[in-house]
Each structure stands twice: as structure tokens, then as C-alpha cells.
């Protein structure tokens, strides 16, 4: 069986930080992290589209050691898709990762499992790594449908890709039910569902793919709970939202995950 991959801590800035704020944030983050941190944990930041060129230039000129990613893309390379961004454009910026199927894209903008699958394929085609998100709502969890919902999302997202490609993916489990509901996902809750993700990858693409895929947890990760979450057997990293906007908090999460 293949060895498990290096954990990945990703900061999803959503619709926050203009390019000036983004520049200050990555500069401070780079200052806060040491070489020995990167030796054990991979780190990526995912600013808004308008920030990407500024951040890319700063990262390359200052030789920052974390990776750059986008929050979203279209599956087509070009066309009459006003407001969308081509994976070709992102690849030209030397991006390493692209988030796809985030719960907000699914819930607010109507992205389907088929849309996510097409994006996964497009991201892979252009040499970047998808961070494919999955997760259930509060109503689905209360109805006992959590595992079936996530299983369906994973199977749909993996359709038509090879076992080798699956092994290189990042899958982020987001408990939508724990976001803005007052409910809390415990490390045990997170582990249970991340184990489901790895099991489904194994069923679809085999044990080596399941060992290689990195399974992130993405639900209110903070400096205070990061270590407990990262200690779980099937959690290989975190997709961090609000806490990643502050370079000090995000660096603490990275250090806690080492």
C-alpha cells in the first residue's frame, strides 16, 4: 500500500481581502512559518481571483514556500461564460490547487455533482490538483443520510478519472450542519466522515488510491482545535475558512498540525 501523503493545510479566503490586504497577509504568513514547518506540512492559500497575480508575484519574488490556489473555476477552457474563469488562465499563474464543489458553491450557486466532476477533470487536465469538497446539511444529517450523501458526492466526483489521478487528489469534508447552526463537529465526528471518504475512494479506485488521497476536514478549524483534529487517523489536513484570514491564527493552525 502507498504511503499516506504529507498533510495539507489550505486557507480559503472566500470573498475577503483585496489585493493589498492579500499581499500583507501572505508576507506576514511567510514570516510566521519556519523551514521546519514546511518540512512536515504543506500549506496553500486561496485568495479571490483579483488577488492571484499580486500574490503569485510576491510568492515567487520572495521565494515563499507555500502554494497558491484558486477557489473555483469553470470546466471549459474558453467560451461565452461571462464572469467565469478558465482553468487555463489559472494554470498560467502557476497555481497548484483549485477548490471545487465547495458547499457554498453547491448551496448558493447550484453546482451539481456533475459540474464538480467536470471541474475535477479540467483541473487535472491542466496540471493542477483539485481540492474536491463534500458534506451534508443539517437536515440530511438529522435524517440519517450523512454517509449516503457524502458517498454519492465522492463517487460522482471520481467518475472517469484514473486510480493514479485519484491518489493525487485532495478531498475536503465540510460538515455543513456545523456551520452557522450552533452545533459543533467533534474530532470524532470529523474522523467518522473522513473515514467514509477514504473508504469510498478505496472501493472505487483501490487501496493505494485511498492511502494516497489527502482528506481534509473543513469546518470551523481554529488554533484551539487544530491539533485534536489533525491527530485523527483519516484527517490529512484542513480547509480553513475564517481563521485563515489572519496570518497569526493561520500560522498557529499550521504549527499545531505538524
As a whole number of angstroms, the distance between CA 241 and CA 221 comes to 8
Burial of 112 (0-12, 13-18, 19+ CB in 10 A): exposed
The torsion defined by the Cα of 63, 49, 112 and 79, in degrees rounded to 10, comes to -110
Nearest Cα to Cα of residue 244 among 24, 46, 32, 51: 46
DSSP-derived letter for residue 3 is P
Q: How far is 251 from 18, CA to CA, in rounded Å?
A: 20
Residues 6+ apart with CB under 8 A from 88: 77, 78, 126
The active-site residue out of 102, 111, 136, 205 is 102
Instruction: Give the up-direction half-sphere exposure of residue 3: CA atoms within 13 A in the CB hemisphere.
Output: 3
Catalytic residue among 104, 111, 136, 174: 174
To the query of whether residue 174 is one of the catalytic residues in this protein, the response is yes
Whose cell is 461571462? That residue is: 82
Integer Cα distance of 60 and 161 in angstroms: 31
Pairing of strands 129-134, 170-173: parallel
**What is the 8-class DSSP label of residue 94?**
T
Tell me, yes or no, if 84 is annotated catalytic: no
Residue 106 backbone dihedrals phi, psi, to 5 degrees: -70, -50
Q: Which residues are catalytic?
A: 102, 174
Amino acid at each position: 500500500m502507498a504511503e499516506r501523503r504529507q498533510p495539507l493545510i489550505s486557507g480559503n479566503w472566500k470573498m475577503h481581502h483585496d489585493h493589498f490586504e492579500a499581499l500583507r497577509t501572505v508576507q506576514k504568513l511567510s514570516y510566521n512559518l519556519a523551514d521546519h514547518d514546511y518540512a512536515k506540512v504543506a500549506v496553500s492559500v486561496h485568495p479571490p481571483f483579483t488577488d492571484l497575480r499580486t500574490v503569485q508575484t510576491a510568492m515567487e519574488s520572495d521565494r515563499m514556500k507555500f502554494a497558491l490556489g484558486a477557489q473555483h473555476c469553470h470546466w471549459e477552457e474558453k467560451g461565452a461564460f461571462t464572469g467565469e474563469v478558465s482553468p487555463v488562465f489559472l494554470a498560467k499563474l502557476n497555481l497548484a490547487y483549485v477548490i471545487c464543489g465547495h458547499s457554498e458553491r453547491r448551496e448558493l450557486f447550484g453546482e451539481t455533482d456533475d459540474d464538480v466532476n467536470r471541474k475535477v477533470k479540467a483541473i487535472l487536465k491542466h496540471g493542477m490538483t483539485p481540492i474536491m469538497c463534500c458534506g451534508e446539511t443539517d437536515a440530511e444529517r438529522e435524517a440519517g443520510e450523512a454517509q449516503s450523501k457524502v458517498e454519492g458526492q465522492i463517487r460522482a466526483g471520481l467518475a472517469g478519472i484514473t486510480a493514479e489521478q485519484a491518489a493525487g487528489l485532495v478531498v475536503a469534508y465540510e460538515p455543513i450542519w456545523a456551520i452557522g447552526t450552533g452545533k459543533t463537529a467533534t474530532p470524532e465526528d470529523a474522523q467518522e466522515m473522513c473515514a467514509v471518504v477514504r473508504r469510498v475512494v478505496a472501493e472505487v479506485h483501490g487501496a493505494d488510491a485511498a492511502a494516497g488521497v489527502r482528506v481534509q476536514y473543513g469546518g470551523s478549524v481554529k488554533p484551539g482545535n487544530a491539533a485534536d483534529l489533525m491527530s485523527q487517523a483519516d484527517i490529512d489536513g484542513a480547509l480553513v475558512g475564517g481563521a485563515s484570514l489572519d496570518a497569526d491564527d493561520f500560522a498557529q493552525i499550521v504549527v499545531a498540525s505538524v
